[in-house]
């Protein structure tokens, strides 16, 4: 009952009347995607006559951050991992916390108490594999670059567990080869049907991405990229997370929480969503690889051009 009363009181300020309490938007930095998401979120809030204010993490002192979360606002939307961690580390439940454009909510403690709601940029692996199967129906062998975890277990376990029946994974452990170039050569020599890229900074940097994509074109091995920039750099196709979509999802969560409070459903589980994503493909690479993507993919995908 206490939780219900608390959440109802939190939402009192979210009436459609001018002068209600603000939704506070905290962005990790002035980077373009964060600012784009914040602008989109403010637009959605204005449509519902809700006030908002945007701050960058670096512009706030610790005391100012604590005041905003503890007393100044009933809802805080953090955009980016650094902003989300800063709010979560205050470990308070007075402000409703919603995050977006976050890469790994679990590692940031966002799945722990106090309750946070939000959307990450991690597209479930099963959804990625469904897309690969549709685009390249002859696929049975999937290669990847990876690094074995400190536990000593072999890398690629997550991919192996998610593969459809009859598919095989061919992971190449970069920690077991002298250089990244040798790991890439070993991967492409296996003649896999597609290389799956994962957004792992321990594996991929600018040089590794460039070397893999150049090698894949030379050997005519399609690559599935984890971002639009990878597809622009030479992957055949992949997924793209749009800041505006993330902002829309954060707004939808915010509005659902408001509905919960108004209809006495405040004790329902945290709202956490998989991200909406766009399909992108590179026609120049398709021509070089002599691959024709199905019409069902091309119709839904956005074409990007090589950088």
Model confidence band, residue 262 (pLDDT cutoffs 50, 70, 90) = confident
**What digits encode the pLDDT tens for the residues 94-120?**
678 999 999 889 888 898 877 889 999
pLDDT of residue 59: 84
Judge whether residue 1 has pLDDT over 50: no
Q: Are residues 94 and 209 in the same domain?
A: no
Residue 4 gets the label, from left (phi > 0), alpha (psi -120 to 50) or beta, of alpha
Judge whether residue 25 has pLDDT over 90: yes
pLDDT of residue 211: 95
Q: Are residues 138 and 223 in the same domain?
A: yes
Burial of 19 (0-12, 13-18, 19+ CB in 10 A): exposed
Domain that includes residue 109, residue range: 2-120+243-273
Q: What angle do CA 86, 90, 96 make, to 5 degrees?
A: 90
pLDDT of residue 26: 93
**What digits encode the pLDDT tens for the residues 267-288?**
678 899 999 999 999 999 999 9
**The token pair that represents 165 in the structure block:** 């029946």
pLDDT of residue 96: 85
Q: Are residues 234 and 108 in the same domain?
A: no
Judge whether residue 3 has pLDDT over 60: no
Closest by CA position to 266, among listed 50, 12, 5, 78: 5
User: How much of the chain, in percent, has pLDDT values that exceed 90?
Assistant: 62
pLDDT of residue 70: 62
Q: Are residues 269 and 255 in the same domain?
A: yes
Q: Are residues 157 and 176 in the same domain?
A: yes
Q: Are residues 282 and 204 in the same domain?
A: yes
Q: Are residues 236 and 252 in the same domain?
A: no
CB-CB contact of 172 with 144 (8 Å): yes
Q: Are residues 72 and 179 in the same domain?
A: no
Over residues 19-34, mean pLDDT: 84
Give the CA dihedral 293, 295, 298, 299, nearest 10 degrees.
-170
Q: Are residues 94 and 208 in the same domain?
A: no
pLDDT of residue 68: 66
pLDDT of residue 39: 98
Closest by CA position to 100, among listed 46, 48, 36, 20: 36
Model confidence band, residue 175 (pLDDT cutoffs 50, 70, 90) = confident
Question: Residue 67 belongs to a domain with what CATH number?
Answer: 3.40.50.2300
Residue identified by tokens 């099963």 is 126
**What digits encode the pLDDT tens for the residues 131-157?**
999 999 999 999 999 988 765 566 888
Q: Are residues 18 and 75 in the same domain?
A: yes
Q: Are residues 116 and 215 in the same domain?
A: no
Model confidence band, residue 31 (pLDDT cutoffs 50, 70, 90) = very high
Over residues 208-231, mean pLDDT: 95
Across the chain, what does the average pLDDT equal?
Answer: 86
- What is the number of structural domains in the chain? 2
pLDDT of residue 9: 39
Q: Are residues 230 and 131 in the same domain?
A: yes
Model confidence band, residue 258 (pLDDT cutoffs 50, 70, 90) = confident
User: What DSSP line would sit under 186-240, residue for residue?
Assistant: HHHHT--SEEE----TTT--HHHHHHHHHHHHHTT--EEESSHHHHHHT-SEEEE
């Amino acid at each position: 009952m206490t939780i219900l009363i608390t959440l109802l009181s939190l939402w009192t300020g979210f009436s459609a009347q001018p002068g209600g309490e603000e939704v506070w938007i905290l962005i990790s930095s002035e980077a373009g995607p964060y600012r784009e998401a914040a602008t989109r979120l403010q637009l959605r809030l204005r449509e519902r006559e809700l006030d908002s204010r945007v701050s960058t993490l670096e512009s706030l002192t610790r005391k100012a951050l604590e005041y905003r979360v503890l007393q100044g606002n009933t809802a805080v939307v953090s955009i980016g991992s650094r902003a989300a961690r800063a709010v979560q580390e205050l470990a308070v439940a007075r402000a409703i916390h919603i995050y977006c454009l976050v890469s790994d909510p679990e590692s940031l403690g966002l799945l722990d108490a106090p309750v946070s709601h939000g959307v990450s940029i991690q597209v479930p692996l099963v959804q990625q594999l469904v897309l690969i199967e549709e685009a390249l129906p002859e696929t049975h062998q999937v290669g990847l670059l990876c690094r074995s975890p400190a536990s000593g277990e072999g890398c690629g376990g997550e991919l192996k567990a998610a593969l459809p029946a009859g598919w095989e994974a061919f992971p190449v452990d970069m920690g077991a080869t002298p250089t990244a170039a040798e790991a890439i050569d070993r991967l492409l020599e296996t003649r896999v049907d597609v290389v799956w890229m994962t957004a792992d900074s321990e594996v991929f940097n600018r040089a590794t991405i460039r070397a893999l994509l150049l090698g894949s074109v030379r050997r005519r091995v399609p690559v599935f990229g984890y971002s639009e920039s990878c597809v622009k750099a030479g992957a055949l196709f992949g997924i793209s997370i749009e800041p505006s979509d993330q902002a829309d999802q954060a707004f939808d969560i915010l509005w659902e929480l408001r509905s919960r409070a108004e209809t006495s459903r405040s004790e329902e589980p945290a709202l956490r969503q998989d991200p909406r994503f766009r399909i992108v493909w590179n026609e120049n690479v398709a021509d070089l690889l002599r691959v024709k993507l199905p019409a069902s993919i091309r119709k839904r995908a956005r074409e990007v051009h090589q950088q």
